[in-house]
Structure 1
Amino acid sequence: MNHSTLPTEPSIRRAPLVFGGIPEAEGWALAPITPRDRVHFRVDHELPLEEFRSELPDRVTVSYDQGEGLYRVDGACGSAQMLADWVRAWCAGRGCTTVGLRAETDVRRRTPRDLPPAFLDDLCRHYLPLSLKRLQRNMSTIRLHLPDPDDLTQQVSEWILKAVSQYDEGKGVPFGAFLATQLSKWVHDLGRNAHGRTAADTENKQQKAIAAFVAEHQRRPSEKELAAFMGQSVATLRRNSQTVATLNGLRNLQSLDGGPEATEILLPDTHEAPDEIMGEAEQTLLSHALTAACAPDPTARRDQRAGQPNVLGWATWYLTMWGGRTKTQLSAELNTSVRNMNVHADRVERSLKLRLVELAD
Structure 2
Amino acid sequence: MNHRPATPVDDTTDPRGRAPLVFGGIPEAEGWALAPITPRDRVHFRTDRELPLGELRRDLPDGVTVSYDQGDGLYRVDGVPGTAQVLVEWVRTWCAGHGVGTVGLRAETDVRRRAPRDLPPAFLDELCRHYLPVSLKRLQRNASTLRLHVPDPDDLTQQVSEWILKAVGIFDEGKGVPFGAFLATQLSKWVHDLGRNAHGRTAADTEHRQQKAVAAFLVEHQRRPSEKELAAYMGQSVATLRRNSQTVATLNGLRNLQSLDGGPDATEVMLPDTAEAPDEIMGEADQTLLSHALTAACAPESGARPDQRAGQPNVLGWATWYLTTWGGRTKTQLSADLGTSVRNMNVHADRVERALRSRLADLAD
Aligned partner of 1:245 in structure 2 is 249
Residue 346 (structure 1) aligned with residue 326 (structure 2): yes
| Residue 89 of structure 2 corresponds to residue 85 of structure 1 | yes
1:235 and 1:84 map into 2 onto residues whose CA distance is 49
Task: Give the equivalent residue in structure 2 for 1:159.
Answer: 163
CA distance in 2, matches of 1:99, 1:236: 37
Secondary structure of 2:103's counterpart equals: strand
Residue deviations 1:121-162 (CA, integer Å, cap 9, x gap)? 111111111111111111110111111111111111111111
Paired with 1:114 and 1:287, the residues of 2 have a C-alpha distance of 43
Which runs of structure 2 are paired with 1:280-295 in the superposition (5 Å)?
A: 290-292=294-296
Equivalent positions of 1:1-361 (< 5 A) are 13-209=17-213, 219-222=225-228, 229-232=233-236, 240-254=244-258, 257-259=259-261, 263=264, 290-292=294-296, 346-347=326-327, 357-358=350-351
Q: Aligned with 2:327: secondary structure?
A: helix
Q: Deviations over 1:34-68 (max 9, x none)?
A: 11111122223322222222211110111122232
Q: Distance in 2 between matches of 1:356 and 1:258?
A: 15
Equivalent position SS for 1:347: coil
Shift of 1:292: 4.2
CA contact (8 A) 1:290 1:348 kept: no
Change (3 A) 1:348 1:58: closer
User: Contact 2:265–2:296 at 8 Å: present in 1 too?
Assistant: no
Deviations 1:92-137 (A, max 9, x none): 3333332222211001111111111111111111111111111111
Tell me how far apart the structure 2 counterparts of residues 64 and 250 of structure 1 sit (CA, whole Å): 30
Cα distance change on mapping 1:20 and 1:208 into 2, 3 Å: closer
Mapped partners of 1:287, 1:12: distance in 2: 54
Residues 210 and 220 of structure 1 are in contact (CA less than 8 Å); yes or no, is this contact kept in structure 2? no
CA change 1:264–1:245 in 2 (3 A) is closer
* Distance across 2 between alignment mates of 1:294 and 1:247: 21
- Note closer, same or farther for the CA distance 1:129–1:85 as it changes in structure 2 (3 Å cut): same
Residues 44 and 287 (structure 1), Cα distance of their counterparts in 2 relative to 1, 3 Å cut: closer
Query: Relative contact order, CA 8 A, sep 6+: which one is greater?
Result: 1
Within 2, Cα distance between the matches of 1:246 and 1:294?
23
Gaps of 5+ in 2: 1-13, 267-289, 300-314, 332-344, 355-365
Asked whether the 8 Å contact 1:37–1:74 carries over to 2, the reply is: yes
Question: Structure 1: which 5+ residue stretches go unaligned?
Answer: 1-9, 266-285, 296-305, 315-342
Normalising by structure 1, we get a TM-score of: 0.67
Cα distance in structure 2, aligned partners of 1:253 and 1:34: 45
Change (3 A) 1:344 1:226: farther
CA deviation after TM superposition for structure 1 residue 233, in Å: 6.6
SS in 1 for 2:43: strand
Kept in 1: contact 2:298–2:352 (CA 8 A): no
Q: Would the aligned equivalents of 2:227 and 2:238 in 1 still touch at CA under 8 Å?
A: no
Aligned residue type for 1:358: R
Whether the aligned pair in 1 keeps the contact of 2:39 and 2:113 (CA below 8 Å) is yes
Q: Which residue of 2 aligns with 1:283?
A: none
Identical columns (%):
74
Deviations 1:150-177 (A, max 9, x none): 1111111111111111111111111111
The answer to whether the 8 Å contact 1:293/1:348 transfers is: no
RMSD: 3.7
> What SS is found at the alignment partner of 2:227?
coil
Native 8 Å contact 2:43 2:76 kept in 1: yes
**Amino acid of the residue matched to residue 259 of structure 1?**
D
Q: How many pairs are equivalent? A: 284
SS at match of 2:151: coil
Normalising by structure 2, report the TM-score: 0.67
Deviation track 1:6-27 (CA, whole Å, cap 9, x = no partner) reads xxxx976322211112111111
